[in-house]
Amino acid sequence: MKRNEGPTDRIIRLILGAIIILIGAIYNSWWGLIGALVFITGITGWCGLYKLFGITTCKIDKPECADTDKNE
């Protein structure tokens, strides 16, 4: 799977995901699940919505944006 999130995008997703998870836990709300989804996309570097719309925030020539699965 090819990453479609750049390093800045991933950091923002990790921070926002953690905050939303915390808010969901404090208020015992379903928002924690949305935060988990945002956090997971930050960890993996791949966003399904970005793929669907053909968006990437990752520079092609950067090593952190290389294919993570060489079998594709």
Question: Residue 10 contacts by C-beta under 8 Å, 6 or more apart in sequence?
Answer: 42, 43, 45
Q: What is the pLDDT of residue 2?
A: 83
Please report, for the chain, the start and end positions of each structural domain, with discontinuous segments joined by +.
7-65
Residue pair 32/13 in contact (Cβ under 8 Å)? The answer is: no
pLDDT of 1: 75
Q: Is the pLDDT of residue 61 over 90?
A: no
- Tens-place pLDDT, residues 14-55: 999 999 999 999 999 999 999 999 999 999 999 999 999 999
Say what the pLDDT of residue 65 is. 74
**69: pLDDT strictly greater than 70:** no
pLDDT for position 72: 44
What is the pLDDT at residue 71?
47
